[in-house]
Amino acid sequence: MNGLRLYGRYVSVSWRSQMQYPASFIATSIGAFATTITDFIAIWALFARFRQIEGWRFDEVALLYGVISVSFALADGLTRGFDVFGERFVKTGDFDRLLVRPRSTALQLLGYEFRATRIGRLAQGMLAWGVGVHLSSVDWTWTAWGTLLFAVLGGVALFSGILVLQATLAFWTVESLEIANTLTYGGVEAGQYPLDIYARWFRNFLTFVVPLACISYFPVASVLGRVERTGVTGWLLPITPAFGFVFLGVALWVWGFGVRRYTSTGS
Amino acid sequence: MSAIVATLRPYQAVFKARFTLLLQYRAAAFAGFVTQCWWGGIKLMVLAAFFRSVRTTPMTFQQAVDYVWLGQAFLTLLPWSVDPEIARMVRSGDVAYERLRPLDAHAFWYARAIARRTATPLLRAIPMVLTAGLLFHVFGMSEWALSPPAGVQAAALFFLSMVLVILLSSAIATLMDIATVAALSERGVNALVGPLVIVFSGSLVPLPLFPDWLQPALRLQPLAGLLDTPFRIYGGHFAGLDALAALGRQAMWTIVLVLLGRLFMRRVMARLQAQGG
């Protein structure tokens, strides 16, 4: 069985096990929707009061928020194994079992659990996205949709990369550190607004260290025709999400380094 | 007198035991502290950009800064979720033992809830207030720093209001615990109440910044007493009679919700369904 088919098998097993409790699945998904929609309510309330944020309108921010929310929801649903890596695998020594199987550890962790309830976050992201598209005056060409789709793919790669790095840290700290939350949830929080409203050091951090700008702000600004706000050459903007994949690649390389250094906790 | 002391002893004991237990989680508190600072910072940078975009605002930027930092400092006071131990008791059926205690069940759970809102929040609030109030000045970030209360009177009323916050928040948390017993699971309760608390307490966006047409309703609803009331008193947004009226609303909601809790507790415990196996 090749890797992709094995992964498909993992997902289908995980899906079926979660569907054993349909009521719980529906309740948790609705809960996730209700909790995450509050961020969009905040955007709405602030725009109802202030009308604009340094020249950016509500529909534009709604689109930015929608794109980054959808990316994070997908990444969060796919990478549960990395998220709980410290407690479930390192602390218990269960990672040893992954090492003796003839498949890559990354693939096995990716298949650990597919979290269907993340559909709640995904749905509210798509709702915000829809509101943004509906209110905007942008010409929705295939190029525009393609740019945003590529941005989402890059975003999934970037957020997954952050979670892989969090898991790698657990090789040394044993416990999963929630410090990565400042980059995942915090990234969604910061990236839902156009980055030019922030101070330069913060914008540079979100561009060059953790390339969040590349997976929402740059491509969305290009679709919205707001190239001049970014200070980047226009044709570059739509292809910047590629840096999300570069980030994931680096994260997986660091992960491999961690795996080679791993010593079991025993028992 | 000694009869009163004897009656209160068990409630005092559960309060003390919970308090000591919760003080153990120092590392978690530190991680939480760093996260709260980061979050507060992002929130303020966004608000600053909004404030730069218009001329007239319902509160000054300094008041908004104070509101946000206090919100981060006292975040754990909010009734976020059902007491995990009570949720476990409901799941295992152990909740039936609560009926055997020769104690007032509501008062017992209420005392637990108050303890949960005193130990951890203190650990969180002190470093946050010190960092935002002092350290920021040292690093030359005075415009982002928490300023002192608007006056001596504001400080005194703020303190009083914070005491009411603990009592009100615990009353809501106890209601959530009771709802868990009735629903046999904490999931639905948490999913429903959590978002409401975030939005209507002022934790998400300072309530004065919501649209003007919503203001009268926002002022009267009970969740405003969880954060918004003391923070507005602190910054001088509510002063004099306004402040006293706000304190009155807080106290009134606390009494109403405690009485409601006692009523529900009696009904739920009278026809208690225990799970087990």
Residue A23 distance to chain B (closest CA, Å):
11
Residues facing A53 on adjacent strands = A56
In angstroms, the Cα distances linking A93 to A99, A114, A141 are 11, 22, 51
Across the interface, whether the CB atoms of B39 and A186 are under 8 A apart is answered: yes
pLDDT at A9 over 90: no
**Rounded-to-integer distance, Cα B136 and Cα B145, Å:** 6
B209/A45 Cβ within 8 A: yes
Domain count of chain B?
Answer: 1
Nearest neighbour of B205 by CB, restricted to A24, A28, A46: A46
pLDDT value at residue A104:
85
Total residue length of chain B: 277
Q: Are B199 and A38 in contact (CB under 8 A)?
A: yes
Judge whether residue A49 has pLDDT over 80.
yes
Q: Average pLDDT for residues A63-86, to the nearest whole number? A: 91
Give φ, ψ of A53 to 5 degrees.
-120, 105
Q: Count Cα neighbours of B207 within 13 Å in the Cβ-side half-sphere.
A: 28
Residue B171, domain member (yes or no) = yes
Cβ(B128)–Cβ(B72) below 8 Å = yes
Domain annotation covers residue B191: yes
pLDDT of residue B67: 95
Q: B45 and A206 in contact (C-beta within 8 Å)?
A: no
pLDDT, one tens digit per residue, over A215-242 is: 999 999 999 988 888 888 878 888 899 9
For chain B, which residues lie within 8 Å of any Cβ of chain A, measuring from their own Cβ? 31, 34-35, 38-39, 42-43, 45-47, 49-54, 58, 187-188, 190-192, 194-195, 198-199, 204-205, 209-211
Whether residue B276 is contained in a domain is answered as no
Number of H helices, E strands in chain A: 15, 0
pLDDT grade, residue A175 (50/70/90)? low
Residue A267 has what pLDDT? Answer: 52
Q: How far apart are the first and last CA of chain A?
A: 32
Assess if residue B240 is contained within a domain: yes
User: What is the secondary structure of A27-41 as a DSSP string?
Assistant: HHHHHHHHHHHHHHH
Look at residue B184 and tell me if it is in a domain: yes
CB contact A179 to B (< 8 Å): yes
- Residue B95 Cα distances to A7, B16, B19, B102, angstroms: 42, 21, 22, 14
pLDDT beyond 70 at A48: yes
DSSP letters of B11-43?
HHHHHHHHHHHHTT-HHHHHHHHHHHHHHHHHH
Contact B46 A30 (CB under 8 A): no
The C-alpha torsion from A197 through A199 and A201 to A207, rounded to 10°, is 0
The residue range of the domain holding B235 is 2-270
Per-residue exposure over B37-58, b if at least 16 CB sit within 10 Å of its own CB, e if not: bbbbbbbbbbbbbbbebeeebb
Position A266 confidence tier, pLDDT thresholds 50, 70, 90: low
Nearest residue on chain B to A199, alpha-carbon basis:
B45
Positions of chain B with pLDDT under 50: none
Q: How far apart are CA A92 and CA A87, in angstroms?
A: 7
- Chain B CB within 8 Å of residue A146 CB: no
- Asked whether residue B277 is domain-assigned, the answer is no
pLDDT of A176? 61
pLDDT tens digit string along A15-29?
888 888 888 888 888
Total-model pTM: 0.87
Interface test with A, best of B198, B214, B215 (most A CBs within 10 A): B198
- Neighbour tally for A88: CB within 10 Å: 18
ipTM of model: 0.89
Instruction: Tell me if chain B has a CB within 8 Å of the CB of A28.
Output: yes
Q: Which residues contact B98 (CB under 8 A, 6 or more apart)?
A: B89, B105, B108, B269
* Residue B253, SS3 per DSSP: helix
Nearest to A50 among B39, B50, B191 (CB): B50
CA distance B62 to chain A (A): 17
A143 min Cα distance to partner chain B (Å)? 30
Contact call for B53 and A51, based on CB within 8 A: yes
pLDDT tier, A192 (very low <50, low <70, confident <90, very high otherwise): very high
Q: In 3D, which of A120, A192, A31, A38 has the Cα closest to residue B199?
A: A38
By CA distance, what is A37's nearest residue in B?
A: B195
Backbone angles phi, psi at A129, to 5 degrees: -55, -45
**A56 - beta bridge partners?**
A53
What's the CA angle centered on B5, arms B3 and B11, to 5 degrees?
Answer: 120
